[in-house]
Structure 1
């Protein structure tokens, strides 16, 4: 494998993981960010993201001289004291904009900033999740016939991003210039993963299509769980029976309070908007979004049924992040449920291993505590909202002596009902008998 000189614009979740992992594969990588204080922290080996293995890769990359951090895109792509970059990854935010469409402001701004600085023959790679047609729009914005544009979507799961990058199911690379696609695919050659080389539009569609399918699968199993509650069936047995079918598989068959995070809500809404712009509807995806929104309400119903009235009731929440293993609160179903409980007058104490302190403007509906015992004290009900493994090994007998009522609503079906019952708790799951 030939080592390449790579610039990564954006040192957030995707950019930092991409840069550190590419450096670990032997490439020389310069990561840029507009936040000077953040760059200083990264240079000191301080990674402000809860992601297993990422800090170690950053420190190792810098120690080996293969990973650098600079302020600003210009410094990354046009350093007079360094050889020219060969590949530029755009890893900037593409949040949900008005109407659900992806906001491409950051992509457009960076492309406009560096277009006259890019060395001839380099490749610009859209790594961020972007709508179909963004590669073509980027190519027009750059207006450089000597610079190719490639789509190379990421498939990273928070909490296992480093593992996912270094052990991918596939590498998807799309470009209307075959040689550019092959150059980008070659960056990953040491990983030994199958490469899907296609046109840019198809590569862009792959990411949306995959995430929308996973969202539909999750919404489907949540709808099944509701039906199991009504009919007296057990969703755990139902999904086990389904999962052994190789056409279905075991993954994404766990019910919960709904899907969230930085990808699925944004990508499903963006896909609906892409279809609308093409004059079509995607009723399956739209129904999945509606089912997901309703799932939050069903979890509130479970809590209300468990305690009677919510107004003035003290409730202990276990979990705030959108999933275990991360400190990410973006579009967290736990926060949505908390906001609904608070709107009905509940007093909320919340504990989350990944969020030990309050985040102003984000966790305002709850009082964040750093000990599960504080969340449990005098609570009429404990509500599990995030599937942290640590919650299984809490001292439930001790917690039983702190709560006002021994009731647990487990929206993740995480806990062992027998363990809870031996500690004196009533356990209420989702779709479970």
Structure 2
């Protein structure tokens, strides 16, 4: 099958490469000429494990092509996938301008019967609008069928997800079109679920909103756990053993980020509002997530009420491991707050630093290793649970001025941090060795008093206590 994928962002590129891998001839289209030239050489513009290798393999096998020309790409296309961005408008709704541009281009350039498949995440009713634009602007007398085929890829495991997904949703009102799309996807070996176009559009939003709700719920439970001296990890395991609940997405932390959950939750709230329905539950999910993302700053300010001049190490910048994606990453809020409060920030991430530099204040100092980030620091904040960070030797924290670690991803066991005399604050778990810092402060104060008492005995008339 000759397939064209319009848009080579995260969804488009992974979709195109995966379709080529199962044997289709795939042409990926993008208006960015420099990006296209790189991809022709097998260089991926995004970091995704396994993607570059599959690109090179399928380019060499003459199954994967890249071009900036819509007319050239559409000439032999049987199926066109729309995978362009739907960025967020100021009111939270999805911006469909790129989708509409592609629809007009399809109408002007296709010369044969074509199935148009929307892979982008779009509000309910968008595929009908795409169909209307194409049919009203067709240059040639051809038949066009519309399909909604939402993606369910997770950044960092997108290639694996493409071949081991839970389901492939095909939304169309034509049985023959559904059969063709089922045949196209058959080599993936993933169950196909056929629905109406509108249901397929809603499945994507509803799925992401539900997962975001689980995350915000477990984070709220974690905040209660800290106050009642329960351990959120034990609570989450106990909850997850109930098959009605399941164990996935019950990991407490500093909230969700990335390109999907923040955008899709707000878009679904807007979709509901458009039909005069107040989605109160989802509004609460969004508000909880905003609060959770600044939780580490609250913990830090509890330890150091004045952050001015404080030296803070930040481990992890991307919104999750195995990606360089900085969209809606908690590190953006945390680091901007640190800088605004006068702290000196040393930041480390194994992949995302270049993307971070475009978004973070210029005062941030970027370093090349975990050790450089924490050495001589007053506190360390853990924001992304990279394997490199989870597996680090925790004794390195003693290279800090004071071994105070605030962990937003619960990377380490409480026992290990206790054994290593590290003051450790995590999410939904008891703080460890907090009394060590308090004892040191008391000892320092007592020592200062003794020194000044000796001076007083030598004739000094004042008694000073060092702070």
Whether contact under 8 Å (1:392, 1:416) holds in the other structure is: no
Equivalent position of 1:189 in the other structure: 186
Q: Is the aligned partner of 1:56 residue 2:53?
A: yes
Structure 2 distance, partners of 1:346, 1:104, is: 40
Which structure ranks higher in relative contact order (CA pairs < 8 Å, sequence separation ≥ 6)? 1
* Structure 1 range deviating more: 115-124 or 84-93: 115-124
**Correspondence for 1:340:** 337
Check conservation: 1:150, 1:175, Cα contact below 8 A: yes
1:205 alignment partner in structure 2: 202
1:234-283 superposed Cα distances (whole Å, 9 cap, x missing partner): 10110010000011111000111111100000000000000000111111
What CA RMSD, in Å, does the superposition of the two structures yield over aligned residues? 1.4
**Residue 441 (structure 2) aligns with:** none
Name the residue aligned to 1:116: 108
- Answer yes or no: is 1:303 the counterpart of 2:300: yes
TM-score between both structures, scaled by the size of structure 2: 0.88
Shift in Å, 1:45: 1.1
The match for 2:88 among 90, 96, 104 is 96
- Separation of aligned partners in 2, 1:390 and 1:297: 24
Q: How far does the alpha carbon of each residue in 1:294-348 deviate from its partner, in whole angstroms, 9 at most, with x for none?
A: 1123221012123332222111000110001101001111222222222222221
Aligned ranges for residues 154-173 of structure 1 at < 5 Å? Answer: 154-173=151-170
Greater shift after overlay, 276-285 or 364-373?
Answer: 364-373
Q: Secondary structure at the match of 2:170?
A: strand
Deviation at 1:358, TM superposition (A): 6.4
Q: Distance in 2 between matches of 1:217 and 1:88?
A: 35
Task: Give matches, 1:108-147, under 5 Å.
Answer: 108-143=100-135, 146-147=143-144
Q: Is the 8 A contact 2:326 2:356 kept in 1?
A: no
Q: Which residue of 2 aligns with 1:392?
A: 390
**Does the 8 Å contact 1:307/1:381 carry over to 2?**
no
Which stretches in structure 2 are left out of the alignment for 5+ residues? Answer: 431-467
Asked if the contact 2:324–2:355 (Cα under 8 Å) also holds between the matched residues in 1, the reply is no
Contact 1:357 1:369 in 2 (8 A): no
- SS at the partner of 1:128? coil
Task: Give the gaps of 5 or more residues in structure 1.
Answer: 79-83
Structure-2 residue corresponding to 1:380: 378
Give the TM-score taking structure 1 as reference length.
0.95
Deviates more, 1:412-421 or 1:325-334: 412-421
Determine the C-alpha separation between the residues in 2 that align with 1:271 and 1:398.
45
Give the secondary structure class of the aligned counterpart of 2:294: helix
Q: Give CA deviations for 1:15-50 in whole Å, capped at 9, x if unaligned.
A: 110011000100000011111111111111111221
Q: Which residue of 171, 174, 186 corresponds with 2:171?
A: 174
CA distance in 1, matches of 2:355, 2:79: 40
Residue by residue over 1:188-241, the C-alpha shift from the partner in whole angstroms, topping out at 9 and shown as x without a partner, is: 112222211111110000000000000000000000000001111110110010
Deviates more, 1:392-401 or 1:26-35: 392-401
1:9-408 matched pairs, under 5 angstroms: 9-78=6-75, 84-143=76-135, 146-357=143-354, 359-364=356-361, 366-401=364-399, 403-408=400-405
Deviations 1:97-130 (A, max 9, x none): 1200001111101111221211332101110000
